[in-house]
Amino acid sequence: MKALIKLFSVFALLMSVSQAANALEPVYSDFFGKAIKGYDPVAYFTQGKPVKGDADFVYEWNDAKWYFASKQHLEAFMSNPEKYAPQYGGYCAWAVSNGYTAKIDLNAWRIVDDKLYLNYNKSVQEKWQQDIAGNVAKADKNWPSLLAE
């Protein structure tokens, strides 16, 4: 009987670890916790292009490490992370509009209504841009349920 109880306890522990491992992280990050591959989200707004962040300017927010190209960008983000962080945690906006998540290409981006959207690649971005308002509405609806999974 003790062996059965022990076996059940191990099984329950493995199931909880498995479920936690499958939970969607709120921010797309790499193995080391770098949000959007270590690139500076503020640079999309100020420089109009992806810019690699610097290890001297890091801020932890929403369970991820955000990297910035300058102290000014770091301070801007710290004062209002929701303004600069990409929508849907930095996952592909097209994927989220279709009810799933996908990684991103840092060069497939667009700012719409002062919000940063990233996509899987340029081809997917073209599809997303065919109905930005509709895709944003669908993604906004899908995002909370994707986080809950």
Q: Read off the pTM.
A: 0.84
Domain ranges of the chain: 26-83, 86-149
Predicted confidence at residue 23, as pLDDT, reads 65
Predicted confidence at residue 113, as pLDDT, reads 97
pLDDT in tens, 10-69: 333 333 333 334 568 999 999 999 999 999 999 999 999 999 999 999 999 999 999 999
pLDDT in tens, 60-100: 999 999 999 999 999 999 999 999 999 999 999 999 999 99
Predicted confidence at residue 78, as pLDDT, reads 98
Tally of CB atoms within 10 A around 26: 16
**SS3 letters for the chain?**
CHHHHHHHHHHHHHHHHHHHHHCCCCCCECCCCEEHHHECHHHHHHCCCCCECEEEEEEEECCEEEEECCHHHHHHHHHCHHHHCCHHHHCCHHHHHCCCCCCCEEEEEEEECCEEEEECCHHHHHHHHCCHHHHHHHHHHHHHHHHHC
Structure tokens belonging to residue 134: 């509709």
Predicted confidence at residue 14, as pLDDT, reads 36
